[in-house]
Amino acid sequence: MSLFKYESEVREPLVKGNKTYHQITEDIIKPIEVKPTKLWYVGLVIALILLGFGVLSVYQEVVYGIGQWNLNKTVGWGWDITNFVWWVGIGHAGTLISAILLLFRQGWRTGVNRAAEAMTIFAVMCAGQFPIFHMGRVWMAMYVLPYPNTRGSLWPNFESPLLWDVFAISTYFTVSLLFWYSGLLPDFATVRDRAKTKLRKLLYGVAAFGWSGSTKHWQRHESLSLVLAGLSTPLVLSVHTIVSFDFATSVIPGWHTSIFPPYFVAGAVFSGFAMVQTLLLMVRHVLGLQDYITMGHIEAMNKVIVLTASIVGCAYLTELFMAWYSQNKYEGYAFFYSRVNLFSPYGWSYWGMMSCNVIVPQIFWFSKLRRNIALTFFMSILINVGMWFERFVIIVTSIYRDYLPSSWTVYYSPTIWEIGFYLGTFGLFFTCFFLFAKYFPVIAVAEIKSVLKTTGDNYHEKMLPAEQMTAEEFAHEYAH
């Protein structure tokens, strides 16, 4: 008769199979040391082609001017800012997983945090391209930085949300990069110490910064991770809040909404988790990491997805309610004509958003569906399509018809160079991600080792005898 149950019967093990420390190293580091597969080369080449097309599109815009895009006086923000907000949103899941889940002591983050943080960094890199090239005269991009200059000194407007964006996104990128890289140091040292070839020893030796695994260093490293997590948590919430201020502080019907900050943050987490699912399902399959990224991990992320889907759903309905409740006719026009009316010019995008983001993700209330890999993969892509629609709806449907009907735009649709720029960021993102998946440990090796003894088969075997003991035996055995 067992007295205690040490292993939760509801919580799944974080690592499957009876692994030793060495096996964990082998499983995760091995893909770095062998030749990449054909599939990897195919993927990389496709990504590079997209990147090349993106570079050509940007070249067109820089050389011939912003007129290469279909933006006009009414629709001043189109695909470019839509894509910017979309990518920044995707970039939120990494820090959420690594920071907020660390503070909440969620053990399952260890399996997915490395890849999610990498994704964050690449997504923010892609996002940054859009506002920079949207400036038009990109060679003057440094004017947004407050440095003493011979123009006055003329300073940027520190009270503008657009400048807050500059600070928020560059801070977010820097802090995410530092957090990610400080976590990578011990794992690079593992690759370095296993390396058989001279080149690998040299490169990973440089990348590991001379990490030795000393107890004092680990103690400081733990402290550093915890404080960086504490700093990143309000940071990640602030970034999309500030992005939402770009809209919320204006007086455009459809933008001038105080619900925007929480609604944007929830949407960002939503789309970010969907992108993490897309990437991890591929990585897990290609690198054979099913023991580390388990069904439990996928299910946990699907739970976050269904929660945030419902939050954004609430936000959509609140907006509609407020548009009606305020009885403001401009607000009413923006919401009930430009958006909800399926037969208005952009009605399709509103209903695309509603179905992809709110209605369909409700299937994840069912455990069976949350644990279905093919469905999860399909949903992760569908959700990101939906989230793209959300940004498009917010931006374009609010501005394509302004207060003066004579300046109402004809139907805005992107030129090939706008589309090319967007595809180009996909190229950049996947080029970076393919290189990451090949040359970096995609799972935090040291962190997995540190949770090994408290989860999974090892723990179960260790605790089995204790569970069989009587109280006296237990007290005798475990009273140190």
Partner 1 sequence: MAKKKFVVACYDDDDKVFPAIKKCKEAGYKIHDVYTPFPVHGLDHALGMRETSLHTAGFIFGITGTTTALSCMTWILTSDWPQIYGGKPHFALPAFIPITFELTVLFAAVGMVMTFMWICKLAPGVKKHIFDVRATDDLFVMPIECTSKTNVEDLEAFMQSTGACKVNVQVAETEWWWGRYDVDDEPYLINDVPVEA
Interface with partner 1 (CB under 8 A): 20-22, 25, 146, 152-155, 157-161, 163-164, 167-168, 171, 174-175, 178-179, 182, 185-186, 189-190, 192-194, 198-199, 201-202, 204-207, 209-224, 226-228, 231-232, 234-235, 238, 242, 245, 446-447, 449-450, 453
What are the distances in angstroms from CA 382 to CA 78, 112, 123? 21, 21, 18
Q: Is 182 helix (H, G, I), strand (E, B) or coil?
A: helix
| Cis geometry, peptide bond prior to residue 153 (ω within 30 degrees of 0) | yes
Task: Give the 3-state secondary structure of 91-145.
Answer: CHHHHHHHHHHHHCCCCCHHHHHHHHHHHHHHHHHHHHHHHHHHCCCHHHHHHHC
8-state DSSP, 350: H
Check if the beta carbon of residue 412 is closer than 8 Å to that of residue 72: yes
Question: With respect to partner 1, which residue has the nearer C-beta, 223 or 468?
Answer: 223
User: CA 298, CA 165: separation in Å to the nearest integer?
Assistant: 32
Closest distance between partner 1 and the C-beta of residue 286, in Å?
Answer: 24
Total number of residues shown for the chain:
480
Q: How many CB atoms lie within 10 A of CB 381?
A: 14
CA dihedral 326, 328, 334, 339 (to 10 degrees): 40
CB-neighbour burial class of residue 281 (10 A; exposed 0-12, middle 13-18, buried 19+): middle
CA quadruple 81, 83, 89, 95: dihedral sign: negative
Question: With respect to partner 1, which residue has the nearer C-beta, 220 or 476?
Answer: 220
Closest distance between partner 1 and the C-beta of residue 19, in Å?
Answer: 11
Question: With respect to partner 1, which residue has the nearer C-beta, 390 or 447?
Answer: 447
Question: With respect to partner 1, which residue has the nearer C-beta, 181 or 474?
Answer: 181
Residue 350 makes CB contacts below 8 A (sequence gap 6+) with 339, 340, 342, 389, 393, 397
Check if the beta carbon of residue 427 is closer than 8 Å to that of residue 48: yes
Closest distance between partner 1 and the C-beta of residue 52, in Å?
Answer: 31
Closest distance between partner 1 and the C-beta of residue 125, in Å?
Answer: 18
Question: With respect to partner 1, which residue has the nearer C-beta, 263 or 273?
Answer: 263
Closest distance between partner 1 and the C-beta of residue 470, in Å?
Answer: 24
Question: With respect to partner 1, which residue has the nearer C-beta, 227 or 359?
Answer: 227
Check if the beta carbon of residue 156 is closer than 8 Å to that of residue 143: yes
Question: With respect to partner 1, which residue has the nearer C-beta, 99 or 275?
Answer: 99
Tracing tokens 């970010």 back to the chain, one arrives at: 272
Closest distance between partner 1 and the C-beta of residue 131, in Å?
Answer: 16
Question: With respect to partner 1, which residue has the nearer C-beta, 190 or 302?
Answer: 190
User: CA 116, CA 283: separation in Å to the nearest integer?
Assistant: 11
User: Biggest alpha carbon distance in the chain?
Assistant: 88
Closest distance between partner 1 and the C-beta of residue 34, in Å?
Answer: 18
Question: With respect to partner 1, which residue has the nearer C-beta, 163 or 314?
Answer: 163
Closest distance between partner 1 and the C-beta of residue 65, in Å?
Answer: 28
User: CA 159, CA 150: separation in Å to the nearest integer?
Assistant: 22
User: CA 292, CA 170: separation in Å to the nearest integer?
Assistant: 32
Closest distance between partner 1 and the C-beta of residue 450, in Å?
Answer: 4
Closest distance between partner 1 and the C-beta of residue 398, in Å?
Answer: 20
What are the distances in angstroms from CA 223 to CA 68, 108, 187, 226, 389? 50, 20, 18, 5, 41
Closest distance between partner 1 and the C-beta of residue 22, in Å?
Answer: 4
Check if the beta carbon of residue 479 is closer than 8 Å to that of residue 42: no
Question: With respect to partner 1, which residue has the nearer C-beta, 182 or 341?
Answer: 182
Question: With respect to partner 1, which residue has the nearer C-beta, 130 or 179?
Answer: 179
